[in-house]
A and B are shown apart, each in its own frame.
Chain A
């Protein structure tokens, strides 16, 4: 089983709909992240959390919200999806230093 699990892996949704991407991890890490990947732009940080009571905005948080339901769970919501939010989304975890562990990615298409 993957250390970082994302659901759904693929989703097509309509403009204006609310969608949630869920993430759970078995690494025991306190730090969790949501990234967005667009062609030619690499990975950009949406939100990050250091523990259940700590939520921080990243580079591109507008149009997104997150919830840290437990140490192991960190969900990303698009309250009203728009086409330019079509992207590959990654959940990730890490310790204070060292590598970042990624989930398998969630392909989201907004039509």
Chain B
């Protein structure tokens, strides 16, 4: 069975500072992908970043980077130079990359508030 744990229900960060949102996971699948989504107050789910379990390097997308530590089963999202528009819910998710049905498992989310 898969499980995603986000232990920070809420976080505050000062504008222009960096922030790390924690995500740990548990799976028995040998190959999987890890995702982060952003959900602003308007409700839509915005894809941010993807990390494959066999990728050699940590994924980066602009101000977003994924700190992937496979041995620790963690996939933390790092947002650099926070902006007011980064205030949102953030969800970590995981999906096996094996044939057949690959269930996507989501964490319960972290609400990030950026302070001016």
Measured CB to CB, the residues of A under 8 A from B are: 33, 40-43, 45, 48, 50, 56, 88, 90, 94, 96-102, 104-105, 107
Contact = CB atoms under 8 A, between A and B. Distances in A.
A40 B35 CA distance: 19
Interface string B68-101: 0000000000000000000000010101010101
Interface of B: 9, 33, 35, 37, 43-45, 47, 50, 91, 93, 95, 97, 99, 101-104, 106-109
A79 to B, nearest CB: 25
A100 B104 contact: yes
7 contacts: A42-B106, A42-B107, A56-B101, A100-B47, A104-B44, A105-B44, A107-B43
The secondary-structure label for the interface of chain A is strand
B112 to A, nearest CB: 15
A99 B45 contact: no
B43 A105 contact: yes
Contacts of A40: 9, 108
A97 B43 contact: no
B108 A96 contact: no
Contacts of A98: 33, 50, 95
A41 B108 contact: yes
A42 B108 contact: yes
A26 to B, nearest CB: 16
A73 B9 CA distance: 35
B101 A50 contact: yes
A10 to B, nearest CB: 10
A98 B93 CA distance: 11
Given A41-B108, A97-B97, A99-B35, A88 B50 contact: no
B24 to A, nearest CB: 14
